[in-house]
Amino acid sequence: MSVSLPSAVDVQSLHEAVFDWYAVHSRPLPWRDPSCSPWGVLLSEVMAQQTPLARVEPAWHEWMSRWPTPADLARESPGEVVRAWGRLGYPRRALRLREAAVAIVERHGGAVPRDQGQLLALPGIGDYTAAAVAAFAFGDRSVVVDTNVRRVEARIVSGLAQAAPSLTRAEVDLARDLLPVVDQDAAVWNVAVMELGALVCTARAPRCEECPVRSRCAWNVAGRPAYDGPVRRGQRWHGTDRQVRGIIVQALREVPAALGRGDLAPGQDAQQVDRCLAGLIEDGLIEPLSDDRFALPGHAEVTR
Ligand code: SF4
């Protein structure tokens, strides 16, 4: 199903209102600086996918200072990049970033490619990241759709309190329909809508009274009707395998060498720890040195 723009939507004035707001209110994030390299942009996009920006920014600075180019990261050991990932969560992203750096060196002479197809072919780079790098690193007219964009556009155009539980074809079509024609304007539009969603049109408490498009927003104009779509389940964390995996990887980050099984996640259910250890080994995030000693990948030779 495709969502065509309702005739009431004046796209030109919508663009102008959002551009004006963004020019005044955007946060001066380092990867938005025109001097930031495409590698810096790619790194920021991967880090920010599932982690709040307040935690991303210090880690981004640390990574850019240690590994300012893909070639620098490609030379690093997997264990060291998992260690440096710190508490950003979902540490498989660190391994995929290193694999992407290796692929960039091998396939593209160490330069992040501009072509979205070539970006998509890199390890760990999906549709969103490829589009975001094309837009924000190279100023291309790509359709960048994250959760903020989906929510803002669902409210402004479709008059819905929230976007669908998962990305739909109609949302991508809508985002494409709203994109300015000129490449550079499109890149700014993408980041400006994201910023509006992050700062004003938030999921739980949108501040419509401060919003630059409040008089053009279908949901606001309709009196902000309650969400009546499918039930949205929050993600449980406490007691999950994800939590226990995080405890194990963090324990190994905090030591220079290996740890015995009993020191990895004390107090946690033994069967759950076994299951998490097996998953972490399979994902390449830790290495077994024996039946009951484990280390970050690449640290085995230090610890034997
Ligand atoms: S008016 Fe409210 S709901 Fe509409 S875009 Fe602005 S903040 Fe979001």
45 assigned to active site: yes
SS3 percent helix, strand, coil of the chain, rounded to 5, is 55, 0, 40
Ligand 1 pocket residue status of 258, Cβ below 6 Å: no
Which residue, judged by its Cα, is nearest atom 8 of ligand 1?
201
Q: What is the pTM of this model?
A: 0.88
Q: Which residue among the candidates 45, 99, 153, 171 is catalytic per the annotation?
A: 45
Query: In terms of Cα–Cα distance, which of 49, 46, 51 is closest to 63?
Result: 46
Ligand 1 pocket residue status of 217, Cβ below 6 Å: yes
Cα 105 to ligand 1 centroid, rounded to whole Å = 43
Ligand 1 pocket residue status of 219, Cβ below 6 Å: yes
| Residue appearing with tokens 């790194």 | 43
Which residue(s) pair with 260 in the sheet? Answer: 293
Atom of ligand 1 nearest to the CA of 211: 6
- Per residue of the chain (304 residues), give pLDDT as tens: 445 566 667 899 999 999 999 999 999 999 999 999 999 999 999 999 989 999 999 999 999 999 999 999 999 999 999 999 999 999 999 999 999 999 999 999 999 999 999 999 999 999 999 999 999 999 999 999 999 999 999 999 999 999 988 899 999 999 999 999 999 999 999 999 999 999 999 999 999 999 999 999 999 999 999 888 777 666 677 889 999 999 999 999 999 889 999 999 999 999 999 999 999 999 999 999 998 999 999 865 444 3
Question: What is the DSSP pairing of strand 287-288 with strand 259-260?
Answer: unpaired
Tell me 294's DSSP state. Answer: E
- Token pair of 285 as six digits: 């995030």
Query: In terms of Cα–Cα distance, which of 49, 98, 103 is closest to 73?
Result: 98
By the 8 A CB rule, do 17 and 9 touch?
no
**CA 4 to CA 23: how far, in whole Å?**
28
Tell me 75's DSSP state. Answer: T
| Residue appearing with tokens 């279908």 | 218
- Token pair of 94 as six digits: 């660190």
Catalogue all structural domains in the chain, each as residue range(s) with its CATH number.
13-138 (1.10.340.30), 144-221 (1.10.1670.10), 241-295 (1.10.10)
Cα 50 to ligand 1 centroid, rounded to whole Å = 23
3-state secondary structure of 28: coil
